[in-house]
C-alpha cells in the first residue's frame, strides 16, 4: 500500500502502538522459553537467578529423549522424501498443465491443511490398526506425508510461477527432449524452491504431535509425543530445553530457506 501523508495523527500513533504490542505478544513467549531453558534454578523462575546448561544435560543425557530425537528425525526424513517427490510433480502439473478442474484438484491437495488433524489422525489410526501397522516409523511418516504435501505444493507451485518458461523453451528449440529440459534447465533453476519445500516438509513432520500420538507405540515415540506425555504430568523445566531445541530447528529451517530464496533470486528474474 506504500506510505501515505506525512502527518502522524493520534490515530496513526495508536495503531502503531497496538501493532507493537501485538508483535511483543507474538515474540515474548518464544524468547522467554529460550531464556528459561538456560536457567540454573530448580523451577521456572524468570528472569533466571543463574545460568546453566543443566536442563540441556538432562535432555541429552536421558536415553529416552535421545531415542525420541532419533525417531522424530527418521519420521521427518521419510516424510520429506515422500512429500517432496509427490508434491514436485503435482505442482508441475498444476502450474503448467491445461486441463479442467485444476482449481478443484488444487483445493483437494491443500485440504489436509484444513481438515482438523485430530480427524486425520484417528482416521489413520483406524486404518493402520486394521493393518496391524501402528507403532511403525513408516506409518507415522505416511501420515505426515499427507500433512506435508500441501506445504510442498504451495512452495513449489509459487516457485514455478516465478520461473520464466522461455528458459525451457530455449532448451527445447535447441533439441533437448522434454525430460532433458526439465532435468537440465528447469530443475536446477527451481532447486532453491524445491529444497526449501523439502525443509518445510521436514519441519511439518518434526513439529507435529497428533499423528504420532495415535500411531506411535510404547517404545517408538517422537519428541512431540514425549513432550505431550510429560506435560500431562507437570510443567518440568527439562521441557524448556526440549522446546528450545525444537525452536532451534524451526529457526534453522527458516534461516536456510531465506538463504535459498536469496540464492534463487539471481537467475531467472
Partner 1 sequence: MSPEPVAAADAVATVDASLAPERRDAVRYLLILLPAVLVLLALFVYPLLGIVERSAYTPKTGYTLEYYGQIWRVPVYLHVIGRTFRTSALVTLMCLALGYPLAYLLATLRPRAARLLMIVVVLPFFTSIIVRTYAWMVLLGRNGVVNQYLTRLGLTDTPLPLLYNQGGVLIGMTYVLLPYMVLTVYSVMRGIEPGLIRAAHGLGASRWQAFRRVSLPLSLPGIAGGTLLVFILSLGFFITPALMGGPSDVMIAMLIEREVEFTLNWSFASALAVILLVLTLIGFVGYNRIVRLERVFEAHD
Stretch that binds partner 1, among 23-31, 57-65, 73-81, 188-196 (CB under 8 A): 23-31
- Count the site residues for partner 1 by CB under 8 A: 96
Q: List, in order, residues 6 or more apart from 102 with CB less than 8 Å away.
A: 94
Residue (30 or 191) nearer to partner 1, CB: 30
Q: Please give the Cα distance from 79 to 68 (Å, whole number).
A: 16
Least Å from the CB of residue 174 to partner 1: 19
Residue (27 or 62) nearer to partner 1, CB: 27
Cα three-residue angle 187-109-259, rounded to 5 degrees: 40
Q: Please give the Cα distance from 177 to 143 (Å, whole number).
A: 36
Residue in 32, 41, 172, 176 binding partner 1, rule: CB under 8 A:
32
Least Å from the CB of residue 103 to partner 1: 3
Least Å from the CB of residue 120 to partner 1: 7
Three-state DSSP class for 7? coil
Stretch that binds partner 1, among 53-61, 62-70, 140-148, 183-191 (CB under 8 A): 140-148
Least Å from the CB of residue 107 to partner 1: 5
Residue (64 or 232) nearer to partner 1, CB: 232
Q: Under a CB-based contact definition with an 8 Å cutoff, are residues 99 and 179 in contact?
A: no
Q: Under a CB-based contact definition with an 8 Å cutoff, are residues 214 and 135 in contact?
A: no
Q: Under a CB-based contact definition with an 8 Å cutoff, are residues 90 and 109 in contact?
A: yes
How many whole angstroms from its chain centre is CA 231?
23
Residue holding cell 507437570?
Answer: 234
Residue in 75, 137, 155, 157 binding partner 1, rule: CB under 8 A:
157
Residue (1 or 218) nearer to partner 1, CB: 1
Q: Under a CB-based contact definition with an 8 Å cutoff, are residues 83 and 152 in contact?
A: yes
Grid coordinates of 91? 505442482
Residues of this chain, 212-251, that bind partner 1 according to CB under 8 A: 214, 224, 227-228, 231-232, 235, 239-240, 243, 246-247, 250-251
Three-state DSSP class for 39? strand
Any contact of residue 110 with partner 1 (CB under 8 A)?
A: yes
Any contact of residue 12 with partner 1 (CB under 8 A)?
A: yes
Amino acid at each position: 500500500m506504500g506510505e501515505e501523508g506525512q502527518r502522524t495523527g493520534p490515530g496513526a500513533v495508536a495503531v502503531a502502538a497496538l501493532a507493537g504490542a501485538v508483535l511483543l505478544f507474538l515474540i515474548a513467549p518464544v524468547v522467554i522459553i529460550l531464556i528459561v531453558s538456560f536457567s540454573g534454578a530448580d523451577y521456572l523462575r524468570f528472569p533466571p537467578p543463574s545460568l546453566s546448561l543443566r536442563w540441556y544435560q538432562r535432555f541429552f543425557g536421558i536415553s529416552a529423549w535421545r531415542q525420541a530425537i532419533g525417531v522424530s528425525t527418521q519420521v521427518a526424513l521419510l516424510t520429506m522424501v515422500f512429500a517432496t517427490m509427490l508434491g514436485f510433480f503435482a505442482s508441475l502439473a498444476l502450474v503448467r498443465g491445461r486441463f479442467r478442474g485444476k482449481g478443484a484438484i488444487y483445493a483437494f491437495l491443500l485440504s489436509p491443511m484444513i481438515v482438523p488433524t485430530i480427524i486425520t489422525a484417528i482416521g489413520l489410526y483406524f486404518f493402520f490398526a486394521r493393518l496391524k501397522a501402528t507403532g511403525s516409523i513408516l506409518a507415522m511418516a505416511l501420515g505426515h506425508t499427507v500433512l506435508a504435501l500441501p506445504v510442498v505444493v504451495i512452495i513449489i507451485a509459487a516457485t514455478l510461477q516465478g520461473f520464466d518458461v522461455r528458459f525451457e523453451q530455449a532448451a527445447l528449440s535447441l533439441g533437448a527432449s522434454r525430460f532433458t529440459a526439465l532435468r537440465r534447465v528447469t530443475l536446477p533453476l527451481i532447486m532453491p524452491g524445491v529444497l526449501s519445500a523439502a525443509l518445510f516438509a521436514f519441519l511439518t513432520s518434526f513439529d507435529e504431535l497428533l499423528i504420532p500420538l495415535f500411531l506411535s507405540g510404547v517404545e517408538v515415540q517422537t519428541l512431540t509425543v514425549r513432550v505431550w506425555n510429560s506435560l500431562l504430568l507437570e510443567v518440568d523445566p527439562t521441557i524448556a530445553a526440549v522446546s528450545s531445541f525444537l525452536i532451534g530447528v524451526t529457526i534453522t529451517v527458516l534461516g536456510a530457506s531465506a538463504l535459498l530464496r536469496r540464492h534463487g533470486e539471481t537467475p531467472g528474474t
